[in-house]
Amino acid sequence: MEGNAVDAINLAGSMGATDFSIWSLFMRADWIVKLVIMMLLAASIWSWAIIFDKVSNLRKLNKLAREFENTFWSGTSLDDLFNKIGSQPKDPMSAVFVTAMREWRRAAEKGTIAGASLSERIERVMQITVNREMERVERYLTFLASTGSTAPFIGLFGTVWGIMNSFQSIAVSKNTSLAVVAPGIAEALFATALGLLAAIPAVLAYNKLSRDMERYSTRLEGFAVEFMAILSRQTEE
């Protein structure tokens, strides 16, 4: 009994002497596990950078769209509004308006306002502008989806590799005590934790941003339809 007590005390002492801080877990890890950890950390940092950029950008775009809509529906002349915006629109909705007005003015200069072909051209250029602007707004968003779907598996790979190294350590030392197994298991599980840490925010942000961007795209397309109706009425008149 006394020998068992001594062994328990020694085991507790060896476990207590092992540093389980995050930095120590990283430094003790195998180089492949270290590579996995660094990849996951880089993916997490880049994901958060994209999240903050998209959230702030969408907030700014919605504000600019609201200001443009207020000006557009205030009764201001289309020509005056076009001259005010100029060739450098500040947001996608202004870009859609400028593109349509530029096509309208080009047809007016040639005297070819009447006809269905003009309506088709204006509708086509507005749709192209909406698609182009939305591509800019959605840039790098797929990285969040990729991180959310792959990060847990990358972390799991690091975990499996770390556990394999732990079993190899057990085989070499021929010691199955918790003091031998615990550090390697902790290093391995650390990779899984980082994988989840990178994936969960990326998935949540991707779903939220996708919905917000879809609403913004619908807003642009709705404006394009309404503006096309206004131009069609002026064509008929």
Give the integer Cα–Cα distance in Å for 15 and 180: 9
Sign of the dihedral through C-alpha 159, 160, 163, 169: negative
Give the integer Cα–Cα distance in Å for 79 and 60: 26
Opening angle at CA 105, ends 102 and 111, nearest 5: 145
Token representation of residue 48 = 């958060």
- At residue 91, φ and ψ (nearest 5 deg) are -150, 165
Tell me: the pLDDT tens digits for 69-127? Answer: 999 988 888 888 888 887 788 899 999 999 998 888 887 777 666 556 778 888 899 99
pLDDT at position 5 over 60: no
Give the integer Cα–Cα distance in Å for 212 and 51: 12
Token representation of residue 146 = 């990729």
Give the residue extent of every domain in the chain.
2-236
